[in-house]
Copies of this chain bind each other. A is one copy, B any other.
Amino acid sequence: MRYYPDPARDLDVGLVNDAIEEAFAEQGRGNVQMPPKVYINLERGDFRTMPAYIPSMNIAGVKIVNVHPGNPGLGLPTVMALTVILDVETGVPLAILNATDLTDLRTGAAGAVAAKYLSPRRTIRLGLVGSGRQALAQLQAIARELPVEEVLVWSRDGKNAESFCRRISESFACRSVALPDACGCDIVVTTTPSREPLVKSEWIGEGTHINAIGADAPGKEELDPVILERARVFVDDPVQAVHSGEVNVPIGKGIFSAGQIAGTLGELVLGKKKRESESEITVFDSTGLAIQDLVLARLVLEKPDGFIELKFP
């Protein structure tokens, strides 16, 4: 059994995007086993258990990931993860991966795949609502699919947005801006832990595509529900989205319904669904799927090094 302490290092973002796109294609074809993630609530956070199996890729396993919002005050990441990979033929554990950085990468890549299929244009201005680790992962992944002219970043603390811009200044033109300005871009990516709508409908122009990433647990939401009414809303997984995605609070309040979901990212990848006009607003509601973690683990396991051997059984 292998342990990978730092498996995200040296992973190519383009390869990651391709692997994630293929995972969504397999899901769209109905070729995966993936029960909804299971939540355990702890006093200061929660953890989620995410098993899955992709037969065509011969990979099966489980990601275990926590969310503890108070962790940064203790010098720890909010989100940390382990992925366990089992041999499909015998069930023997093959590998354990430190999946903290992989989780950032795979969530960013899902946003990139959604942007590739739903962007209103080929060269984009990118608005980032939130400037943390996931904002950076989304930018880096999206930039591999679409040329990014300019990045407009909003953060509740403007210093964080400025620091974000300095960090990416060698590769991107970037400005710290007011929230309405970040929302005025071709593609808007929301990555905050908000539990009330931050993004007002009046700030979102026709043709905008939004990656709604932050809402990943019951009670979380970032978008004015009026935006969902105006938009075509795509999800990664309908069951998870209804339970814990951007649509979970509006559905709970009866102002949006599961029947209004336009389709899945898998259907977009397979060409079964698509953006239908330049003017329509599209939303990708991401909750994060176990199959994303599996395909990244598969990329890692192909590498000839970066692990230590552990005795098992």
Given the known inter-chain contacts A67-B91, A90-B71, please indicate yes or no for A80 contacting B47, CB distance below 8 A: no
Given the known inter-chain contacts A90-B74, A93-B80, A98-B312, please indicate yes or no for A40 contacting B52, CB distance below 8 A: yes
Determine which of B47, B80, B93, B311 lies in contact with A51 in the assembled complex, contact meaning CB atoms within 8 Å.
Answer: B47
Bound Cα distance from A296 to B31, whole angstroms = 37
Closest to A313 in B: B100
Determine which of B3, B42, B86, B310 lies in contact with A66 in the assembled complex, contact meaning CB atoms within 8 Å.
Answer: B86
Asked if B62 contacts A62 (CB within 8 A), the reply is yes
Please classify how large the interface on chain A is, using the bins under 10, 10 to 19, 20 to 34, 35 or more: 35 or more
Given the known inter-chain contacts A33-B41, A310-B5, please indicate yes or no for A47 contacting B96, CB distance below 8 A: no
Q: How many copies does the complex hold?
A: 2
A253 within 8 A of B: no
Asked if A91 contacts B62 (CB within 8 A), the reply is no
Asked if A84 contacts B84 (CB within 8 A), the reply is yes
Bound Cα distance from A299 to B52, whole angstroms = 30
Contacts of A76 in B (CB 8 A): 90, 92, 313
Given the known inter-chain contacts A5-B311, A91-B71, please indicate yes or no for A62 contacting B49, CB distance below 8 A: yes
Q: Which residues of A contact B (CB under 8 A)?
A: 3, 5-6, 33, 35, 38, 40-45, 47, 49, 51-53, 55, 60, 62, 64, 66-68, 71, 74, 76-77, 80, 82, 84, 86, 88-93, 96, 98, 100, 308, 310-313
